[in-house]
Structure 1
Amino acid sequence: MSAAERWIPFRLRDLVDILATESSEPERFRELHRIVAAVVHHEYRQELERLKDAYAPFNPDADHRVIRTWSDDERTECQRVLVAALTDLVEAANYEAVGREVLGGAVEGESLLKLRLHVDLDDFDEILFFRRGLSRRTEEVSHLFGLRHKPVEFTNCARILIYLKFRDAEHFEAAGRRDLPFEPGSTIIKLFQDVPRADLEMLLPNTEVRMRTTDKLVIGVPALLSGLVVLVTKVASSLGLLVLLVLFWVGVRDDEVDIGQTQLAAIALGLGSLLAFGWRQWTKFKNRRIQFMKTLSENLYFRNLDNDVGVFHHLLDAAAEEEIKEILLALHFLTDGPETADGLDERIEAWSAEHLDCVFDFDVRDALDKLGDLGLIEVRDDEHHAVSLDEARRRLDQRWDAYFAAPALPR
């Protein structure tokens, strides 16, 4: 995993078990984890409703009756809120934005699937990519037409989130493009797993599979040789008769061409052989293209995790878990004594490297902001002091009760 990533690559339950065994009050720490988790998940539930409301005008999988319509201004505002809320959520889940230059490099580079993929990025009005969990992997890739295999090392992304908004129909009509496999103006949200960074373009819905130079040679060279054999053995004599006949008709040749049933049969046989040869080559080309499409479809099938509204639920759970892990890590180390932000950051990262054999970029500022919002730390002279575990639980109990307290009635 990249050292620059903020993602904490451990299950929450496993991390809690490790921290609890190191705590001087393990049972109280586990109880604190339960109420922290309840508070964080409850607060993220409000974000889920906000996302669902913003996505409602664009949701292609809605199974409920629509009792209202949205104006163009309302749709524009919903799109703005959707992008802002989705970006906040993926950042909370410790995803990193994929720059346009990285995506462009994937489009221009060679696919690990040995496919030539073509993508027109101008089809999109807006495109956002986010990734999490970079790692270096090695796989055996066949070459020399499958006769040999060689190891190929590449950068893999554990999770990829894409948000796309296609351009309106006018854009595609102006380009003369019809029978599109997508709906112009539509919005797409998808989540994928285990995607090589060099193959990011295969996740786009307008990806087209095209022939590589190698594939053209594999089909073209045998076709050329076979075509020459067909021309020499079956078509040459027929073409000779046809050429003489045409020359007589246009007045270039004076001698009349005598064509009987035998000659007509030879011409028919030659033309039939030529048409059959052309049909066989076209079928080979189509079959190879279908094989490429099958390879692409199989890879997408096993990499797809979620779509549309389902992505919100997936991301919300990931964001809540990351926040809980950050809170508990920071609180655990602050219970040993006050620390500055930089000191706490160094302690947690050093502990992770030593005890977990893992290096990540702990987002200490975010963790301290969350602890401050929950009222679990106090700041004095640039040092952060944690309240006791009993006091932390009491304050969180009060916060939880306040969620469901009935508002005071006006007098």
Structure 2
Amino acid sequence: MTGERFIPFRKTDVVAMCVDREPEADRESFRAFAELLSSLLHHEFRGRLEALKDAYHPFNPDSDTRTVVEPSEGERAEAQERVARELADLAEDANFVRISAEDLGQAFEQESLMKVRLDVDFDDFEQVVFYRRGETVRTEEVRQFFGLRRRTMTFTNYGKVLVYVRFKDASYFEENGRDVDDLPFTPGSTIIKLFQDVPRADLEMLFPNAQVRMRRLDKLLIGVPAVISGVIVVATKLIAALLPLFLLLAFWIGARRQPVELNSGQLLTLGAGLVAFGGYVVRQVSAFKNRRIQFMKTLSESLYFRNLDNDAGVFHHLLDAAEDEEVKEAVLAYHFLRAAGTPLTPRELDERIEDWFARTWDAEFDFEVDDGVAKLRRLRLLDEDTEDRLSVVPLDEGKRRLDETWDDLFEYSTMGAPSGR
């Protein structure tokens, strides 16, 4: 069994799967039940979104609204902690898995598919957290030796990767002698990004302070031809042009008795040799810079096509994903308990759902049975006997209770209101 908790089907498809397993007479009623349950959970997540937007507002770099009251330092710190805490909760609800420090470290050691070496200064961060979802094993054909050779690589790929980074304040960088104006990021800022289709070996490219570094192979590709051509330039042009100058210098210091006179032709040759050598140096520096620019272009293009959302937009994406996962778990738990015909233990319920998806849909995942059961209990849809076995209320009673919960969401009294006549 895979450790992936994500249910790899759309919410509407999961509901349709359950509807198809219901008796024909109950199918429309079950669909209405699922719609009621989905609406209730949607309302709950809407409240979480509004609270998260308020907490994130002081740090939102894309905000186009004015701030009426500036928060104090204490309020900002409290809001920062609330954002980090709520983001972690949302990631868990959306069945993301936190990427361990060990996995992040392996990303710097494993061979990258991009063929770009990156360095990251972890001391820049106050807090850094990565989450992933949708782990698969893939193969890809990569080119080597200028395309003359092809090799098939097998690697772990993540369908979605969530990045939360908070940089240290400006005082830290000033104390360490780093010019704040030259940093590629804003000290004290918070970065929230969501990426898709990321190989595990390329996780380092998602760090906002990643710097391109030349690999040993790239240094050899530039350095070896540079040394060979440099020797040729010095041997054929520069030495011949500098020889009269060396002889003149030897005469001046007394190492040579015969005087040396430089004519215009020799001076022209010397000038041409120096120009040739200077042009050679410029070409090698340009080759190094162009190679670096090429790597940065590769990195930018890769990030451009993998980036899904940024900053506040990530909240909407995560909330939508978390809401879908919550609905799927609750609908599946209710349907399979209802279809069992006899009370089940949580473990039995978990096994039935996972086995059915593995046999019917060739999909393996770790169903979050505790989350599904907790939602049914909270919505008063669960009956539990004394032996810790679970069953659910009948379908019509379940709809009645959900409708009652919906009606109680907003309290509005017409007592004392004018009759309208």
TM range (shorter): over 0.9
- TM-fit CA distance, 1:402: 1.1
Structure 1 residue 346 displacement after superposition = 1.0
Partner of 1:372: 377
The code of the aligned residue for 1:326 comes to E
Structure 2 gap segments, 5+ residues each: 417-421
User: How far is 1:223 from its partner?
Assistant: 1.1
Alignment match, 2:48: 47
Q: Which residue of 1 aligns with 2:313?
A: 310
CA distance in 2, matches of 1:74, 1:367: 35
Report how far residue 195 of structure 1 moved.
0.2
Identity of aligned residues (%): 52
Matched, 1:127 2:128: yes
1:254 deviates by 4.6
Q: 1:255 to 1:174 in 2, by over 3 A?
A: farther
Selected match of 2:352 from 339, 347, 352: 347
C-alpha displacement of 1:64: 1.0
Residue 192 in structure 1 maps to residue 195 in structure 2: yes
- Which amino acid counterpart does residue 363 of structure 1 have in structure 2? E
SS, match of residue 68 in structure 2: coil
Shift of 1:125: 0.6
Which residue of 285, 289, 295 maps to 2:288? 285
Matches of residues 89-238 of structure 1 in structure 2 within 5 Å? 89-178=90-179, 179-238=182-241
| Residues 186-216 of structure 1: CA deviation (Å, up to 9, x unaligned) | 0000000000011111001111111111111
Match of 1:273 in 2: 276
- Once the 2 structures are TM-superposed, how far is the Cα of residue 257 of structure 1 from its aligned partner? 2.7
Structure 2 equivalent of residue 4 of structure 1: 3
> For residue 246 of structure 1, what is the aligned residue in structure 2?
249
Match of 1:353, as an amino acid?
A
Which residue of the partner structure matches residue 419 of structure 2?
none
Which of 306-315 and 399-408 deviates more?
399-408
Task: Give the match for residue 32 of structure 2.
Answer: 31
Residue 110 of structure 1 deviates from its aligned partner by: 2.9
Deviations along 1:280-326, whole A, 9 cap, x unmatched? 11111111111111111111000000000000000000000000000
Q: CA deviation at 1:151?
A: 0.8
Worse overlay, 256-265 or 157-166 = 256-265
| Further displaced range: 36-45 or 70-79 | 70-79
Q: Does 1:389 align with 2:395?
A: yes
Over residues 127-172 of structure 1, what are the superposed CA-to-partner deviations in whole Å (9 max), with x where a residue is unaligned?
A: 0000000000001111122211111000000000010001112222
CA contact (8 A) 1:161 1:191 kept: yes
Q: Take 1:180 and 1:74, find their aligned partners in 2: how far apart are those partners?
A: 27
User: What is the rounded CA distance, in whole Å, between the counterparts of 1:225 and 1:373 in structure 2?
Assistant: 75
Q: Which amino acid aligns with 1:302?
A: F
Query: 1:408, 1:375 → 2: CA distance?
Result: 28
Distance 1:86 1:252, change over 3 A: same
Structure 1: distance between partners of 2:22 and 2:347: 22
Deviations 1:91-143 (A, max 9, x none): 00000000111111212333211111111111111000000000000011111
Gaps of 5+ in 1: none
Partner amino acid for 1:193? Q
Q: Please state whether the residue corresponding to 1:403 is helix, strand or coil.
A: coil
- The alpha carbon displacement at 1:49 in A equals 1.2
Of the structure 1 ranges 170-179 and 131-140, higher mean CA displacement relative to structure 2 is found in 170-179
Q: Contact 1:110–1:116 (CA<8 Å) still a contact in 2?
A: no
Contact 1:132-1:160 at 8 Å conserved across structures: yes
Q: 2: CA distance between counterparts of 1:112 and 1:250? A: 59
Describe the shift of the 1:51–1:242 C-alpha distance in structure 2 as closer, same or farther (beyond 3 A). farther
User: 2: distance between equivalents of 1:141 and 1:404?
Assistant: 59
The one-letter amino acid paired with 2:336 is F
Aligned to 2:412: 406
Give SS of 1:335's match.
helix
In structure 2, distance between residues paired with 1:255 and 1:171 = 66
Distance 1:229 1:26, change over 3 A: same
- Structure 1 runs of 4+ aligned residues shifted over 6 Å read 407-410
Instruction: Give the partner amino acid of 1:174.
Output: E
Query: How much does 1:68 deviate?
Result: 2.2
Residue 255 (structure 1) shift: 4.1
Residue 26 of structure 2 corresponds to residue 20 of structure 1:
no
1:371 to partner: Cα distance: 0.3
Read off the aligned partner of 2:269 and give its amino acid letter.
A
RMSD of the TM alignment (CA)? 1.6
Report the TM-score when normalising by structure 1: 0.96
- For residues 225 and 71 of structure 2, the distance between their equivalents in structure 1, rounded to whole angstroms, comes to 58
Report the AA paired with residue 331 of structure 2.
L
2:363 matches 1:358: yes
1 CA distance for matches of 2:412 and 2:40?
18
* Secondary structure, counterpart of 2:408 in structure 1: helix
The one-letter code sitting in structure 2 at the alignment partner of 1:368 is: V
Aligned length: 409
Superposed displacement of residue 173, structure 1: 2.5
Residue-by-residue CA offset, 1:16-37 (whole Å, 9 max, x unaligned): 1111010121111111111111
Cα distance, 1:245 vs structure 2: 3.4
Return 200-209 or 250-259, whichever deviates more: 250-259
Question: Is the CA contact (8 Å cut-off) linking 1:107 and 1:119 kept in structure 2?
Answer: no
Please state whether the residue corresponding to 1:224 is helix, strand or coil.
Answer: helix
TM norm structure 2: 0.94
Name the CA distance, whole Å, in 2 between partners of 1:186 and 1:177. Answer: 17
CA distance in structure 2 between the aligned counterparts of 1:361 and 1:186, rounded to whole angstroms? 36
Q: CA deviation at 1:253?
A: 4.2
AA partner of residue 307 (structure 2): N
Determine the C-alpha separation between the residues in 2 that align with 1:169 and 1:406: 50
